[in-house]
Amino acid sequence: MRRGMPNQEQSVKESLSMCSESLLKCSSTVESLYIKENRPVQSPPFDEQVWQKKMRTRGWAMPAVYVGDMRDAGMDSRWTSQLGQDKTVFHLFKGKRGGFFVDLAANDAVILSNTLTLEQQYEWSGICMEANPKYFEKLYHRKCQLVQAAVGRVDNERVDFNFRDEFGGVVGSAFDNKDVGLGVAKTHATVSLQHVFNDLSVPEVIDYMSLDIEGAEEWVFETFPWGMYTILVLTVERPKDKLKQLLLLHGYTYVCDHGDWGDQLWMHSTFPEMNMAIGSLGLDSAKRCSGVYQNSMSE
């Protein structure tokens, strides 16, 4: 509903009562009011500087990084996931092009990436979130929107973050990184997923999310806005019981494991023809995501 509409009738009535000089003047006044109240709302043109200023007030810095026309050789790699997660997602979406993903944490741009093939070969877009600056030289060659941040349950919570390659993460007794002595540690201000999703205009339906943040997954999702966003397919490493309960509560179903160390795949109930899609995976009795479809995608 357009703003001002609830007061339109009252405005017209007041104007009518004031139109005492002539019928013509009255008619002209009412017509002009009607046009003003019902004029289509025009979207203002996009202004890059205004947008950047707004983002800065929301806590974001806007660096300009020149990568030239060089293309990292690894960007042409296919099926780079460690345990076939990218193949499973590709199969579930029947080779869909133009999907949307969220990668947390992105880590290396190529090695063990669950989203590279979807992005480079099948025109998916998405967000790659990573706290370790070590990986950004290659990540800048990706097409995804890059977010350099330590994602947490709330905004601006001060945390220690261990930088130790793919095993790095937020330090805490409940996480894999229990001690700052495990790597080079720096203090970071966290940002919540809701803050990131809102500021970067993430769609309400996310096709795929890759979640692997070294034991902090449950902590980050404590404040996730479940009612605002739906993740159709989620892969998450070693989800703890509380996160599993949250997933079940919000319409997600456990489907299978990639590998033997708890990298699980979950699907939301709104996934199109979900039961048929799960059946096509050819799961074994142990619910391993290792159906024959993966062996047919070696090209």
Q: Do 271 and 187 fall within a single domain?
A: yes
Q: Given a cut of 70, is residue 33 above it in pLDDT?
A: no
146, β-bridge pairs: 128
Q: Do residues 31 and 82 both lie within one domain?
A: no
| Residues 146 and 206 placed together within one structural domain of the fold | yes
pLDDT tens for 246-272 read 999 999 999 999 998 899 999 999 999
60: three-class secondary structure by DSSP: coil
> Do 81 and 34 share a structural domain?
no
Amino acid at the residue 44: P
Number of separate domains in the chain: 2
Residue 90 near residue 124, CB atoms below 8 Å:
no
> Which two three-digit tokens encode residue 111?
């090695």
Q: Are residues 172 and 231 in the same domain?
A: yes
- Mean pLDDT across the chain: 82
Position 102 in a domain: yes
CATH number, domain with residue 87: 3.40.50.150
Position 43 in a domain: no
In a domain, 69, yes or no: no
Q: Is residue 44 part of a domain?
A: no
Average pLDDT over residues 140-149: 93
State the Cα–Cα distance between residues 19 and 107, nearest whole angstrom: 70
pLDDT at residue 226, as a whole number: 97
Distance of CA 159 to the CA centre of its chain: 22
d(CA 11, CA 40): 19
How far, in Å, are 40, 75, 194 from residue 197 at the CA level?
29, 26, 5
- How confident is the model at residue 3, as a pLDDT? 44
Cβ-contact 29, 11 below 8 angstroms: no
**160 pLDDT tier (thresholds 50, 70, 90):** confident
280 in a structural domain:
yes
Q: Rounded to whole angstroms, how far apart are CA atoms 20 and 257?
A: 79
Q: Supply the pTM of this predicted model.
A: 0.80
Block residue for tokens 């943040």: 213
Listed range (168-172, 201-205, 275-279) with the worst mean pLDDT: 168-172
Q: Is residue 132 part of a domain?
A: yes
Q: Which amino acid is at 298?
A: S
Residue 199 — pLDDT band, cuts 50, 70, 90? very high
In a domain, 118, yes or no: yes
pLDDT above 80: residue 235: yes
Specify whether 32 is located in the same domain as 88. Answer: no
Whether residue 213 sits in one domain with residue 97: yes
Question: Is residue 79 located within the same domain as residue 24?
Answer: no
Does 62 or 21 have the greater pLDDT score?
62
In a domain, 286, yes or no: yes
Q: Which of 52-66, 73-87, 219-233 has the highest mean pLDDT?
A: 219-233
Asked if 119 and 229 sit in the same domain, the reply is yes
Q: What Å distances lie between residue 59 and 52, 149, 212, CA to CA? A: 11, 11, 24
239: closest CA among 230, 225, 251, 258? Answer: 258
Residues 226 and 95 in one domain: yes
The more confident residue out of 38 and 257 is 257
* 137 and 257 co-located in one domain: yes
Residue 85 has which token pair? 């997660």
Range of the domain at 26: 5-38
Same domain, 32 and 135: no
